[in-house]
Every structure is written in C-alpha cells, then in structure tokens.
A and B are shown apart, each in its own frame.
Chain A
C-alpha cells in the first residue's frame, strides 16, 4: 500500500475551517439572523438619508414691503401674498410655515412682523436674525450627534458579531465533546490543528460578515447621496474591519478554551459568561464615554476594546498616524499569547467528560 504524504498543519486546519463554515452556512438560524442584521444596517442608512432629505427650506408668505426684506435672506422659499389677510389664510391652511408682513417701526425695529400658527417658527426666525461671529477655541471635528451614532454603530456591530460567532465556536467545541466525535478527531489530527481550524473558520465567517456590513454601509451611503459622510467614515470603517479581524481571533480562542471545560450545551453559558462580559464592556464604554478622550485613549490600546476604541479615535481625528499601528501590534501579541494559553486549556480538557473541568487543572502541564 502506498502512503500519501501526511497532511500539513495548514491543510488540516483548512479542512476543519471549511467544515465549520459549511455547517454554519447551512444553518437557517444563522442565515436569518445575518439577514436581519444586514437589513438593520441598510434601514438605518436609508432612514438617515430620508431624514436629511426632508429638511427642505421653510416656506414663507411675504406681504408688501416685507417682501424685499425676506427676498434678501438665503434659505427661505418665498411666495408673495397680496394682503395680510391672504398671508394669514395661507398660514392657517398650512401652505406656508410662516408669513412675514410689514409692521410699524414703533412696535418692531425691523419693520416686519412674523405670523405663525401655533409656535414661533425657529428656522424662519434664525434665518431672519443677525448673529455676531463666534470663535470656538477647540472646535469639535465632528458633529456630536454623528459621533454618538458612529460610536453606537461600532459598538453594536462589534458586540453582535463577537457574541454571535463567539457562541458559535463555543457550541461547536461542546458539540464535539458532547457527541464524543472529538476522540476520533484527536486520534486523527493534532489538537492544536483542530483548535486552529475552528478559530480560523469562525474568524473568516465573522470577518466576512463585518466586511459585508462595511461594504453595504459604504454603498448605501453612496447610493443615497451621502458621499461626504462616507469620506468622513471611510478610514475608520476600514480600520475597524482590520482590528475586528485580529480582535476576533483572540476572542475566538478564549471562547473555545472556555467551552472546552464543559461537556454539555446547557453548561456553555456558565463558562463563557466571563468572555461575554469582556465583549460587552467595550460596547458600553464607547456609548457612554465616546466624548471622553482619556477613556477612549485607554480603550484604544487595551486588546479587548481596541477594535472599538481605535477606529473611534481615528474617526474623531484624535489618533496620531502611528497609534493604530502600535495598538495593532499589542493586539497581535496578546492574540498570540491567548492562543497559546487557550490551546493548552483546550487540549487538557477535551477528553474530560462529565463535570466541569477546573481551570487550574486545565492549565496544568499536560501529564
């Protein structure tokens, strides 16, 4: 009998990774949840574009000498009315937002009076007012509302994807233990290869999902004519994808190692909770502290929160060019360390069925 060459580490890992991906893509629950996530992203962009499109110029009716005043103001859609009565009627009928009519200089130094239905028409008043020039000493580079939504977006996408694929890898590890197929696998390929394949497969899936979301967000912004926003968001989105890819490898190794401690699906949640917390913390921090440079600065270097913190700082323009590189190196080194520790826990726990394996036992040198 002629022997074929032994498969290499890479070949075996790829086989394992491919199985993980195929089985996942075949799961209806996964396809549906991904579809919902993509729809949510798309919907938020469309809604954003509709909201900005609706902000049209306020319509005003002008009467007599007031016409000359409002015609000189930019940003008003002016129509002339024959009389104050007619202008008032137009306001009542809702065909204009306000009417501007001549007034006695004694009651109004401007010589005009504004008639509106039930509240002072702020936009019209702002257009008619004169404001002195304002000089900000520390102008924000981004609109604060936009900052909040971007923080929410990064935080949410990171959180959702990490939890989704983290629990997938945890379930897949326990499935192999629970169904005992793991013993056949262990007698066939080295345990490290098995772990590497699992991490790789799920990371590819998570990365693909993030990339699709990024792409969808980008095209969505372009199609709805919000290309200026794309220009602002683009670089931070790209960094987010890069950081997420590495950050997820780290999380995946943690999820796999934690899950290998138990033998039943029912027990998965109890061991993966600490890892889940690690994923939730950056999500809450970025939402509550997206305007706090110190918290963001620390977040952008701590490996677990860097995938959210660093893109946020890039978006805010507060990161020097070398900072993402440094943070990426820190993330890379911690990922490598976690993989080494995780694979020890994993290989020490795989054959222990029944109760939960103690972490100290799992970390002990293999006997």
Chain B
C-alpha cells in the first residue's frame, strides 16, 4: 500500500499542494481527479521523488520511500517525451537497464511489451518517425518495461486512440490484479468511472474527497429517481416528501426524502396510467466531481 501523508509544496507564494493525504491500496486502481492546476502533477512528482515536498512523507508498506525503492515504480509523466533519435526498442531496453535490469531481461521484457502494444513492427525505427498515437504507446512501454510493482500514471489516456485506451486499460487491470497499487490521473471522467476502484478528488491543492467509488456515490448520492409515464406527470409536484429536479410532460426527475416516498410515487403513477420507466439514478462521477469541488 502506498501512503501519502500530509504532503505540502509551495512555489514561492503559490501553494501547489497543501496537506495532501490519501492512500493507494495494493491491487486497487485509484483514480486521481482534478482540474488543471489542482495539484495532481505536483503530487505525482513528489511521490516519484522528482520533486521534494516541503513537508509530509510518502511511504510504501509503511516504510519511507528512498531513491532506491522508487526504481520499482512505473511512472508516466504528464509531459511525454522519449529520445526522438533513438530506436524504439533500444530506448525501452535502455530505460529498463537504468532501472537495474540485466540486458537480457530488459530485452525480453521490451519484446513482450511491444508485442502487446502492437508496436513490434516498429521496434527498430527511431521514435521521431512514429505517429503520435504510436509514440504514446512507446511511452507506455517505457513506463512498464521494468515490471514495476507500483504504477503512477499522469493522464495515461490522453492522446490515445480508442484501441490504445483499451490496451492501457488492460495493462492497468493486469497490474492491479497482480497486487500493484495503481494511481492514475485523468480528465476523462467516464474512463475513470469505468476503471477505478477508489477515487481521490483534488482541487486547489487540497483533497476534497477520497474513498472507494461506491462509498463516494453513496455519500454524494441524493436518492434521485427518474420516472417516465404515458401522459402528464404534473401531479408529482404536490406529492409529499418529493423534491423536484425537473418535470416536463411525462418525464420527471426527483429526489425522495425516503425510499418509501419513491415507492409511493411509483404506485400513484401506475394508478394513473402506464409507467414506461422508473429507475433510481446513481450520481455520475461528473456530478460528484462538480459538487465536491464547489
């Protein structure tokens, strides 16, 4: 388990992150969500030791991280980049070796990854000759070549085509299934919602919410229901215990003070005519996000 405890960092007068604490459980995929300049990249750089925090600490399985520990981390920085003139495979082998792999192990791992990322045919080409999407895949290989035990990925999906997104999703799930803590940031809330087990929402350098996805949904859910009937549903405005979100013709979106109130609404609707749809609505991550950062 990776733990971030009370990490703060300021640049001059500007507070980048302030007292940030959360944990990334072993075998769990944690989504790190926040707007631009919220402090995601700073936090990730501090976890990787690329930046030094002013205060706070980062521990792995309870032990303070050292430079030597960090080589078991796989890191994909937000600012992408590889050596443009180096050949794809050569470059990935080089990064593997810098992480302490033997030449043979680094080569085997590179071959395997390039196969999986469908880049094997371009292994001998210089990185600069690849398309942007393929460069992005090479970047993923660079983060994974040393078989990392912890993954920290800053916006891993940006710039990827849908197939690339699926490949990366697969890789992340495999890593988590193998017991690795996985932390990734993304602007694509739908992808985060689909993929992550846990969520950390950050805004203006402070953590606004964190916990498992379902926990957050419950915490920020409002027992919202959608009702669609044939005919008019205007009567719902007067129904006791109901707060209207929107009503239009036969379509209503409402919040119920208690589940029994919702059942009452359903019974009344069936008496009045045909009900084509009645469903509790989970708040989407986008809704939770908007609510939390306000």
Q: How far is the CA of A175 from the CA of B86 in the complex (A)?
A: 12
Q: How many A-B residue pairs have CB under 8 A?
A: 77
Cβ contact of A184, chosen from B49, B68, B81, cutoff 8 A? B81
B82 within 8 A of A: yes
Q: How far is the CA of A188 from the CA of B96 in the complex (A)?
A: 9
- Note all chain A residues with C-beta closer than 8 A to B54: 367
In chain A, residues 165-193, which have Cβ atoms closer than 8 Å to a Cβ of chain B?
A: 175-176, 179-190
Q: How far is the CA of A225 from the CA of B105 in the complex (A)?
A: 54
Interface bits B20-31 vs A (CB < 8 Å: 1, else 0): 000000000000
A82 within 8 A of B: no
A15 within 8 A of B: yes
A side interface size, CB within 8 A:
29
Q: How far is the CA of A367 from the CA of B97 in the complex (A)?
A: 30
Q: Closest Cβ of chain A: how far from B80's Cβ, in Å?
A: 6
Q: Closest Cβ of chain A: how far from B175's Cβ, in Å?
A: 12
Q: Given the known A-B contacts A23-B85, A366-B52, A367-B54, are A184 and B142 also in contact in the complex, defined by CB atoms under 8 Å?
A: yes
User: Does the CB pair A6–B77 fall under 8 Å?
Assistant: no
- Note all chain A residues with C-beta closer than 8 A to B163: none
- Note all chain A residues with C-beta closer than 8 A to B97: 7, 15
Find the A residue at minimum CB distance from B83. Answer: A181
In chain A, residues 1-29, which have Cβ atoms closer than 8 Å to a Cβ of chain B?
A: 1, 3-7, 12, 15-16, 19, 23
Interface bits A189-204 vs B (CB < 8 Å: 1, else 0): 1100000000000000
Q: How far is the CA of A1 from the CA of B175 in the complex (A)?
A: 12
Find the A residue at minimum CB distance from B102. Answer: A4
Interface bits A294-321 vs B (CB < 8 Å: 1, else 0): 0000000000000000000000000000
Q: Given the known A-B contacts A179-B81, A181-B83, are A12 and B73 also in contact in the complex, defined by CB atoms under 8 Å?
A: no
Most A CB contacts (10 A, CB to CB) among B71, B73, B81 go to: B81
User: Does the CB pair A188–B98 fall under 8 Å?
Assistant: yes
Query: Which B residues fall within an 8 A CB radius of A?
Result: 45, 48-52, 54, 67-68, 70-73, 75, 77, 79-86, 94-95, 97-102, 105, 142-143, 147, 149
Interchain Cβ contacts under 8 Å between A and B, 23 examples:
A4-B102, A6-B71, A15-B94, A16-B98, A23-B85, A23-B86, A179-B81, A179-B84, A181-B83, A183-B45, A183-B50, A183-B75, A185-B98, A186-B48, A187-B48, A187-B49, A187-B70, A188-B70, A188-B71, A351-B45, A351-B50, A366-B52, A367-B54
Query: Which A residues fall within an 8 A CB radius of B?
Result: 1, 3-7, 12, 15-16, 19, 23, 175-176, 179-190, 351, 353, 366-367
